[in-house]
Amino acid sequence: MDRIHITGGAPLNGVIPISGAKNAALPLMIASLMTGETLELINVPRLADITALLRILGNHGVDQMVVGKRPGQTSETGQTIRLTASNIIDTTAPYDLVSTMRASFWVIAPLLARFGEAKVSLPGGCAIGTRPVDLLIMALQQLGAETEIDGGYVIAKTKKGLRGGQVSFPKVTVGGTHVALMAAALAYGTSVIENAAREPEVVDLADCLNKMGARIKGAGTPRIEIEGVARLNGARHEVLPDRIETGTYAMAVAMTGGDVVLKDTRADLLHSALDVLATTGTEITQVDGGIRVRRNGGGIAAVDVTTDPFPGFPTDLQAQFMALMTLAKGQSHIRETIFENRFMHVQELARLGAKIRLDGDMAIVEGVERLRGAPVMATDLRASVSLVIAGLAAEGETQINRVYHLDRGFEGLEAKLGRCGAQIERVRA
């Protein structure tokens, strides 16, 4: 199993290109099931999760073409994928495929909306909480689907097509909003999603669906209106920049010191996180086509944060921010309100010398003067990259095991950091 080896202590200086957002690309790829015409997606990151979803779509019969590199592209820049679901041969998504990635469960919506039936395995993914699919199933039921769970599969059917209705989520759910959007786009009549997720990735999906002929208004607000249409057409759509990757590298610069331009990204996608980062003593400025992050070696101020749905502080940046706070001056409090098991990185950060104690959904971090390198184990995608950030700042050598988690969400991580002065390499098993 591959490992990442880091010799810490070097500041980061240079330019890091930001990839397309995995959390946007996955639902966009799934949306290809909603039409028999070709959906062309630009700026799709090269990640294990993308490859896994291509296998799932291929199992349904989706034709796929990955377009060759264009001038100026590298292994860390996005690829173009063309997906054509003109001949769907199977509306079942089996356990051996769906169990590897939670987002793959979302295929249930376009399959049900377009073909009137779907059988999808209950999902897998990172072990960061239960993340049940009950709200996703509820959304389909409120649009007229008949559902049952049998043998670990969700079976959904509709005799005369989905019908427009009101989907009211008791709590904000990104996955539920994705599912409701796709199902309602092909339902008969008008649907309203109340308490909808406002994340940029939801807006990106709605924008793409509208290009395909859907009639969606209000994406990015808590209330989305969808007027169903009989069919959708193909389209060409560019995946938005990855705000989590942007925030991750910004925190790496804040922790190690240095001066880095994060290019091909947008500050408006993560204002909350950047505002928090600025209060730690990090200089954040917008530049043409990106964001400049600088810290001149001064101390890191302790800051309290609470994770919240967008536009709040992202749960997907909680572990990275905790790594930063381990070297802050003073005590910080980090409250996790989204996932109940998302503190598994605490014990691994402690192996590097961090002082963190847990109290329910809160982590209390006492800043220390220095971290020291040690062997650590990645537990999930965001936890693994928090260990990379900590290792970059720690004295001596850090070895991170089980880095296959990183390959699910960070494109070309070692190369991007290495070009900015980090001493980081992958050790092949």
Residue ranges at the known binding site for UDP-N-acetyl-alpha-D-glucosamine:
102, 131-135, 316, 338
Pairing relationship of beta strands 235-238 and 38-44 according to DSSP bridges:
parallel
Residues annotated within a binding site for phosphoenolpyruvate? 22-23
Active-site positions read 126
Integer angstrom CA distances of residue 291 from 113, 147, 264, 297, 412: 40, 46, 9, 19, 19
Bridge-partner residues for 302, per DSSP?
none
Report the length, in residues, of the chain.
429
CA distance 14 to 12: 7
Backbone φ/ψ region at 45: left (φ over 0), alpha (ψ -120 to 50), beta: beta
User: Nearest Cα to 214, choosing from 193, 195, 229?
Assistant: 229
User: Nearest Cα to 108, choosing from 82, 80, 141?
Assistant: 141
Pairing relationship of beta strands 117-121 and 92-93 according to DSSP bridges:
parallel
User: Nearest Cα to 262, choosing from 74, 49, 417, 43?
Assistant: 417
Residues annotated within a binding site? 22-23, 102, 131-135, 316, 338
Instruction: Give 297: exposed, middle or buried? Use CB within 10 Å, 0-12, 13-18, 19+.
Output: exposed
